[in-house]
Amino acid sequence: MTASTILVHRHTLSSRIAITVALLLLAAIPTMPFWASSGQIRLIIELSCLIAIAQMWNLLAGYGGMVSVGQQAFIGAGGYSLFVLSVYAGLNPFWSVPLAMILPALLAAPSYLLLRKLDGPYFAIGTWVLAEVFRLVTGNLQVVNAGSGMTLRAMGQFTAHQREIGLTILCALLLLITVGGTFLMLRSRLGLAMTAMRDDPVSAASQGVNVGRMRFGIYVVAAMGTGLAGAIYYMAQLRISPSSGFDPYWSSICIFIVMVGGIGRLEGPIVGALLYFTATRLFGHYGASYMIVLGLLTLLIALFSPGGLWGLFGKLRDWPWFPVGHRLEYRQRGDA
Amino acid sequence: MVTPSGQQTQADGKEVLLSVRNLSKSFGALKVVQDVSFELARGEVLGVLGPNGAGKTSLFNLISGDIAFDTGAITLSGTPLGREPSYRRAMRGIGRTYQIPRPYAKMTTFENLLVAARFAAGRSEREAYLSCAALLEDCGLAGKANLPAGGLTLLDRKRLELARALAGEPKLLLLDEIAGGLTEAEAGQLVSLIRQVRDRGITIIWIEHVLHAVMAVAERLLVLSFGEKIADGKPQEVIDNPDVRRIYMGIEA
């Protein structure tokens, strides 16, 4: 019916470079115990967990339209799963890490059914209340040492070097699953639906997208990714307590990283996490005044660049790292 | 030709695509649609007229499943739709446009169409690429395929609404004031597009205030006032109906 053939491009030069660099960096992380200091490794573990948790929050808020201030519920649930599996079932902590995604998923499914009728701010408050309930319940459970928290003694069977090797491998896998997995999901048919929902859920439903089921799936997947990051983070800490695992500060960090980096873009949380992480290392010792500056920065970006730093950069140069879009090119046929 | 069981036919032997029976909907004390019934044959183009607030868009929302009806029945090709959500109805072949265009603002024009082709029409990636690229050309949007839809002009947004609904391969297309807010020339371009859609055999219900635009394509008009059907018939007969002249056009007969 048309006189032209078409080509659909998905990658760009910038994305090929960025993805190659990203894979090389990921491969480099597990080699760190052989050349980097323990301090540097700790920093990379923390940064990996931040990126993963922020990317999951971006998936939830940026694509699913569900602004949660209670993702600490799943950080805590993932962390506690690991400790309980190790202490009570005697499992090797490293092998327990993937199992730590089960409890967050089991908690997320009924939580979503409770929260799904709530919209916007009510949803946010609902997630917060739920996270507080998890914190209070954990703080009163004698099996997990109530308010005093748990220690991961099983790590004592490994040398410091072995722990570092295990943790760096886990961090590389964490980033591969959360960032790489989100990338692959967004490029698929489901990603098309998620991006449409981000822009207009009513239109998306009238074009055949089951918005309710998509949101449920996103909520559960985000909980699992967040729980995985929580398990790795607290494994590195060797200790978890209700007040740290279920700390609402986790959600503040998510909101800061994603809002400043760029919401609804894959690159946003990475940019935001790098900024937050660097700023905290450099200026963290200023304490309260540093927090005020971070708050003001969020406010300014929300007011003047709702697309975050990545959105600002995108206006200058269209160099995506992880392209999920489609560029259509018409080519006239040579013959008649 | 064998008619599959359950399919209704009209008195003149035409297959009934959509049947709306005693449909009612209230928002609290406000009755937006009251006891509306009509049938639509496959391939028919029905224009819907009525003053603002007459319940035209509410009728669309009930048919597309954006809102649920209180009482009555809606049947598509013999299947009662009941409380089926809008995404299921889209997959069954009910496509719609919105009066105020609702594009996926940050996605490109091409990607806007892909959503409908992959989900409502259930096409594979390759099929969707081909059909959406062809639709963009047909609707005059090929040059804007890679632009974010949020930045399009009003005419292009209206075209996009139409193209996106068509990408879902509807059997029944609901057009909500697609010519509203456009200049004469722009409305004329859309009318010729809608004629092409009709010629493909797609059944259309078209809400419009731009009377000559809808008269140019519709074979039948239905008039709503305060949620009730006050006229339904051949365009000229409906236009000459004294009630319609008084209520809709403000002309005392």
Round to whole Å and give the CA distance between A310 and B106. 14
Q: Name the residue of chain A whose CA is nearest to B129's CA.
A: A8
ipTM of the complex: 0.89
User: What pairs with residue B39 in β-bridges?
Assistant: B19
Are A199 and B91 in contact (CB < 8 Å)?
A: no
The alpha carbon of residue B35 and the mean position of all alpha carbons in its chain are separated, in whole angstroms, by 20
Q: Are A63 and A264 in contact (CB under 8 A)?
A: yes
Q: Are strands B45-49 and B203-207 parallel, antiparallel or unpaired?
A: parallel
The model's pLDDT over A212-264, given as tens digits with 9 standing for 90+, comes to 999 999 999 999 999 999 999 999 999 999 999 999 999 999 999 999 999 98
| pLDDT attached to residue B86 | 95
Averaged pLDDT of chain B: 90
pLDDT of residue A267: 92
* Most confidently predicted of A50-59, B47-56, B229-238: A50-59
pLDDT at position A3 is 52
**H/E segment holding residue B229:** strand B228-233
C-alpha to C-alpha distance for A4 and B134, rounded to whole angstroms:
9
pLDDT at residue A323 tops 90? no
pLDDT the model gives residue A25: 94
> Is there a contact between A309 and A272 (Cβ–Cβ < 8 Å)?
yes
Stretch B225-244: mean pLDDT: 90
A264, B106: Cβ pair inside 8 Å?
yes
Provide the shortest C-alpha distance from residue B59 to chain A (in Å). Answer: 15
Q: What is the pLDDT of residue B181?
A: 84
Number of C-beta neighbours around residue A168 at 10 A: 22
Residue spans per domain, chain B? 1-84+205-253
For residue B5, the model assigns a pLDDT of 46
User: Cα–Cα distance between B51 and B57 in angstroms, integer?
Assistant: 11
Interface test with B, best of A116, A207, A211 (most B CBs within 10 A): A207
Please, which pLDDT band fits residue B12 given cuts at 50, 70 and 90?
low
- Helix ranges, chain A (H): 13-28, 38-57, 72-88, 93-99, 102-115, 120-139, 160-175, 181-187, 189-199, 201-206, 211-237, 242-245, 249-261, 267-283, 288-304, 308-316
CATH (domain of A319): 1.10.3470
CA dihedral A238, A244, A248, A251 (to 10 degrees): -10
pLDDT at residue A155 tops 50 = yes
Residue A114 placed within a domain: yes
Tell me how close the Cα of B163 comes to any Cα of chain A, in angstroms.
12
Q: Check residue B9 and give its pLDDT.
A: 67
Distance from CA of A192 to the nearest CA of B (A): 6
- Distance, in Å, from the CA atom of B236 to the CA atom of A6, rounded to the nearest integer, reads 45
**pLDDT value at A210 more than 80:** yes
User: Per-residue pLDDT averaged across A198-221, rounded?
Assistant: 94
Token pair for A132:
């507080």
Q: What percent of chain B has pLDDT over 90?
A: 74
Residue at token pair 């209704």: B8
pLDDT at A2 over 50: no
What is the residue-wise DSSP string for B74-109?
EEETTEE-TT--HHHHHHHTEEE--SS----TTSBH
CB-based contacts of B215, cutoff 8 Å, min separation 6: B47, B235, B239
| CA distances, A210 to each of A215, A277, B167 (Å) | 9, 37, 17
Q: Do A192 and B142 touch (CB under 8 A)?
A: no
Instruction: Answer yes or no: are the C-beta atoms of B61 and B86 closer than 8 Å.
Output: no
pLDDT value at position A307? 85
Does residue B239 surpass a pLDDT of 90? no
Asked if the model's pLDDT at residue A23 lies above 70, the reply is yes
Chain B closest-CA separation from residue A148 CA (Å):
48
Cα–Cα distance, A115 to A105 (Å, whole number): 15
What is the enclosing helix (H) or strand (E) of B244?
helix B242-247
Torsions phi, psi for A278 (to 5 deg)? -65, -45
Q: What is the mean pLDDT of residues B146-175?
A: 95
CB atoms within 10 A of CB A267: 23
Q: Could you tell me if residue A96 is inside a domain?
A: yes
Nearest Cβ partner of A326 from B87, B110, B119? B110
Residue A77 has pLDDT above 60, yes or no: yes
Residue B244 has pLDDT above 90, yes or no: no
- Residue A224's CB: how many other CB atoms inside 10 A? 23
Unique residue bearing structure tokens 């809002």: A259
Place of tokens 């069977």: A157
Percent with pLDDT over 70 in chain B: 94
User: Would you say residue A283 lies in a domain?
Assistant: yes
β-pair partners for B27: B30
Query: In this complex, how many residue pairs, one in chain A and one in chain B, have their CB atoms less than 8 Å apart?
Result: 107
DSSP codes joined into one string, A78-143: HHHHHHHHHHHS---HHHHHHHTTHHHHHHHHHHHHHHTT--HHHHHHHHHHHHHHHHHHHHT-GG
Distance separating alpha carbons of residues A150 and A147, to the nearest angstrom: 9
Domain tally for chain A? 1
Contact B90 A208 (CB under 8 A): yes
Segment B163-183 shows an average pLDDT of 93
A246 CA to chain B: closest CA distance, Å?
35
Question: Which residues of chain B does A199 touch, with a Cβ-Cβ cutoff of 8 Å?
Answer: 103-107
Q: Is residue A335 part of a domain?
A: no
Comparing C-alpha atoms, which of B192, B217, B102 is closest to residue B152?
Answer: B102
Question: Does A161 have pLDDT greater than 70?
Answer: yes
What's the pLDDT at A167? Answer: 95
Q: Which of A195, A206, A265, A327 to mutate to test the interface with B (most CBs of B within 10 A)?
A: A206
- pLDDT at position A287 is 81
Residue ranges making up the domain that contains A286: 4-327
In this predicted structure, the answer to whether residue A335 has a pLDDT above a threshold of 80 is: no
- Chain-chain contact of B129 with A6 (C-beta, under 8 angstroms): yes
Of A20-24, A27-31, A40-44, A147-151, which gets the smallest average pLDDT?
A147-151
Range B1-84+205-253 classified under CATH 3.20.20.150? no
Mean pLDDT calculated for residue range A30-59: 95
Please give the Cα distance from B226 to A261 (Å, whole number): 50
What pLDDT, on the 0 to 100 scale, is given for residue A113?
93
Which of B81, B108, B111, B176 has the most A C-beta neighbours within 10 Å, making it the best mutation to test the interface with A?
A: B111
* pLDDT for residue B11: 60
Cα separation, A162 vs A41, in Å, equals: 13
* Alpha-carbon Rg for chain A in angstroms: 21
Residues 6 or more apart whose Cβ sits within 8 Å of residue A180? none
pLDDT category of residue A283 using cuts at 50, 70 and 90: confident
Terminal-residue alpha carbon distance, chain B: 48
Q: What is the pLDDT of residue B148?
A: 94
Of the residues A116, A197, A328, the best mutation for testing chain B's interface (the one with the most B CB atoms within 10 Å of its CB) is: A328
A205 contacts on B by Cβ (under 8 Å)? 66, 85-87, 90
Q: In this predicted structure, what is the pLDDT of residue A336?
A: 38
Give the chain B residue nearest A209 (alpha carbons). Answer: B87
Q: Give a yes or no: residue A101 inside a domain.
A: yes
The confidence score (pLDDT) of residue A325 equals: 87
The string of pLDDT tens digits covering residues B200-211 is 999 999 999 888
Subunit contact A203:B102, Cβ cutoff 8 A? yes
Segment B39-59 mean pLDDT: 92
* Predicted pLDDT at A273: 95
Residues of A in contact with B142 (CB under 8 A): 330
B253 pLDDT more than 80: no
* B125–A189 CB contact, under 8 Å: yes
- Do A15 and A266 meet the contact criterion of CB atoms below 8 Å apart? no
- Pairing label, strands B94-96, B172-176: parallel
Candidate from A45-59, B12-26, B80-94, B159-173 with smallest mean pLDDT: B12-26
Q: Do A205 and B87 touch (CB under 8 A)?
A: yes
Q: How far is A193 from chain B (nearest CA, A)?
A: 6
